[in-house]
Structure 1
Amino acid sequence: MSEFVDLTLLATTFFTLFVIMDPVGTVPVFLALTSRMTAAQRRKAALQATAVAFGVILVFSLFGQYILGFLQISLPALQLSGGLLLLLVAMELLMGWGRQPEASDDSANVNVALVPLGTPLLAGPGAIVAAMLAVQDADGDVAGWVAIAVALVGVHLCLWLGMRFSVVIHRVLGDGGTTLVTRLAGLLLAAIAVQLMADAVFALIEQEL
Structure 2
Amino acid sequence: MHQFLLITLTSFLSLFAIVNPLSTLPLFVGLTAEMPARVQKKVAIQSAITGFLIVATFCILGKLLFLAFGLSLPALRIVGGSLIAYCGLQLLYSKTSSDELQSNPEHASKITLFPLATPAIGGPGVIAAAMSYTAQGFSGVSAAISAFALVCIITGLVFVFSGQLMKLIGRDAIRFISRIMGLIMAVMGVQMLIIGINGAINLMQFTGVCPR
Q: Distance in 1 between matches of 2:174 and 2:107?
A: 26
- 3-state SS of paired residue (1:53): helix
Higher Cα Rg: structure 1 or 2?
2
The 5-angstrom pairing of residues 42-57 of structure 1 reads 42-57=40-55
State the 1:168 CA deviation.
1.0
CA RMSD of aligned residues (A): 4.1
Q: Distance in 2 between matches of 1:184 and 1:12?
A: 26
Paired positions, count? 201
CA displacement 1:21-47 (0-9 Å, x = unmatched): 823321121223x2xx3x444433432
2:74 — aligned with what?
76
CA displacement 1:54-112 (0-9 Å, x = unmatched): 223322332233233332223332233324444x169649xx62567546658557455
Q: 1:76 to 1:46 in 2, by over 3 A?
A: closer
1:206 — aligned with what?
206
Q: 1:135–1:148: 8 Å Cα contact kept in structure 2? A: yes
| TM-score, length of structure 1 as denominator length | 0.68
The 5-angstrom pairing of residues 1-209 of structure 1 reads 3=3, 4-6=5-7, 7-18=9-20, 22-32=24-34, 34=35, 37=36, 39-86=37-84, 88=85, 92=89, 97-98=92-93, 101-102=96-97, 110=105, 112-113=107-108, 115-124=109-118, 127-138=122-133, 139-141=135-137, 144-145=140-141, 148-174=144-170, 175=173, 179=177, 182=181, 186=185, 189=188, 193=192, 194-208=194-208
Q: 1:25–1:182: 8 Å Cα contact kept in structure 2? A: yes
Q: Kindly provide the amino acid, as one letter, of the partner of residue 59 in structure 1.
A: T
Q: Kindly provide the amino acid, as one letter, of the partner of residue 72 in structure 1.
A: G
State the 1:2 CA deviation.
7.9
Q: 2:27–2:181: 8 Å Cα contact kept in structure 1? A: yes
List gaps (5 residues or longer) in structure 1. none
Q: Distance in 2 between matches of 1:120 and 1:208?
A: 35
Q: Kindly provide the amino acid, as one letter, of the partner of residue 124 in structure 1.
A: T
Q: 2:52–2:152: 8 Å Cα contact kept in structure 1? A: yes
CA displacement 1:103-124 (0-9 Å, x = unmatched): 66585574554x2132121233
Q: 1:168 to 1:110 in 2, by over 3 A?
A: same
Q: 1:18 to 1:182 in 2, by over 3 A?
A: same
List gaps (5 residues or longer) in structure 2. none
